[in-house]
Amino acid sequence: MGRVQLFWPTAPRGCRRPDGRAIAAIVALVTLAGCEQNTFVPPPPPKVDVAVPVQRPITRYLEATGNTAPIKSVDLVARVQGFLQSIEYSDGNFVKQGTTLFTIEPETYKLKLDQAQAAEAGAQASLKQAEADFKRQSDLVARQAVSQATLDQSTATRDNAQANLLQAQANTRLAEVNYGYTKVTAPFDGIVSAHLASVGELVGVASPTQLATIVAFDPIYVNFTVNEQDVLRIRAEAVRRGLTPTDLKQIPIEIGLQTETGYPHQGKLDYASPTINQSTGTLAVRGVAPNPDRLLLPGYFVRVRVPVERQDNAFLVPDTALGSDQGGRYVLVVTNENVIEQRRVQTGPLEEGLRVIESGLKADDRVVTTGLLRAIPGQKVDPQLKRIEAAQQSIK
């Protein structure tokens, strides 16, 4: 260390020179300033929580959005002309099959039925008389008591009487049908809409008049579409498992409303279109589900999923551990040297709140689950090994 010399200027007259203690203090400060060296101590690596992927069997589902539709929906119309005599239900009521809903002026049609029945009875009497006369003429011709022409006339009379009876019977049946149309009944169990015609209104004049609509709610259809790639995958899986078209109709489906968690409603596949829609590249599919409580109304948008295959060993990580950028989805993995590495992955569906990783991870990879903002690729961290817990599955 070099020598330090202090030069003090001559003190002005009237000023006191510094004493020895002050000079010693100044010398000490200068000495320390020349000997002390500043050194940088880096901060410790940030702590992050890491976990190895959960491995367990999962069921892969085909997920789609669909809509519900009634399995039966019929417009109730007036098929005969007349004044609407009564409405025998309350708007929006559930009715059983065969319940009378409307009555249309039945007296006129009852009279027509009586008239047809009377004509039928007269035709039967005429036929009976014609048959008796035919038998007499046949006996007389056999004894050569009358000519063959008389027998031919009797035969024609009998045949004409038979034709008249058939026509009378048809008229009676037609009158019965029209009389039955005066009562409009429920063709099946369902809910009837508000009436569209009032009591006293003339209906069925020029064409059938719509009176109301009845809709069946239990069971209910669920219509959705499947894209072409999924169709190919499902058909390949069906061939691998040896499933027949009848077996495919027994595949269960799960249904959830937009406001419900998960898929609480169960059903089965019911129909698949034989052709792909070329304009959309999709296949129309229909399921059917029991609906005893009428929770599913026709026209609802619903979430649908269909189990496609079972995977014995899938990798799952928390959905919050995933990041995304222009290159796609990724996770941050801690290497053996505790250095952060960005790993590109292919993701699958959610399973109990965990995201299925299709590819990009190994069983022993340590995935950063919390503290992602402190985990910078290429830098060291202090990993804290944790266990992944399944979270409640969110609505998709």
Same domain, 81 and 209: yes
Q: What is the mean pLDDT of residues 196-219?
A: 92
Contacts of 25 (CB under 8 A, 6+ apart): none
pLDDT over 90 at 137, yes or no:
no
Q: What is the pTM of this model?
A: 0.68
Q: Which domain holds residue 378?
A: 49-58+312-385
Q: Which of 204-208, 209-213, 389-393 is the least confident region?
A: 389-393
Predicted pLDDT at 18: 54
The string of DSSP letters for 272-311 reads: E-SS-BTTTTEEEEEEEE--TT--S-TT-EEEEEEEEEEE
Number of domains in the chain: 3
CATH code for the domain in which residue 281 is found: 2.40.30.170
Decide if 28 is inside a domain: no
> 94 and 191 share a domain?
yes
Query: Facing residues of 259 across strands?
Result: none
Task: Report the candidate in 87, 81, 89, 88 with the shortest Cα–Cα distance to residue 105.
Answer: 81
pLDDT of residue 33 exceeding 70, the answer is no
Given a cut of 90, is residue 3 above it in pLDDT?
A: no
Buried b (16+ CB within 10 A) or exposed e, 207-220: eebebbbbbbbebb
Q: What is the spatial distance between Cα 27 and Cα 2, in angstroms, rounded to a whole number?
A: 12
Residues in the chain: 396
Q: How many helices (H) and strands (E) does the chain have?
A: 5, 20
Structure tokens at 99: 């319940």
What SS3 state is found at 236? helix
Residue 181 sits in the same domain as residue 260: no
Chain-wide mean pLDDT for the chain? 85
> Are 350 and 287 in the same domain?
no
Same-domain pairing of 223 and 354? no
| Whether 147 and 281 share a structural domain | no
Tens digit of each residue's pLDDT (9 = 90 or more) over 163-187? 989 999 999 999 999 999 999 999 9
Pair (149, 169) in one structural domain: yes
Q: Are 289 and 264 in contact (CB under 8 A)?
A: no
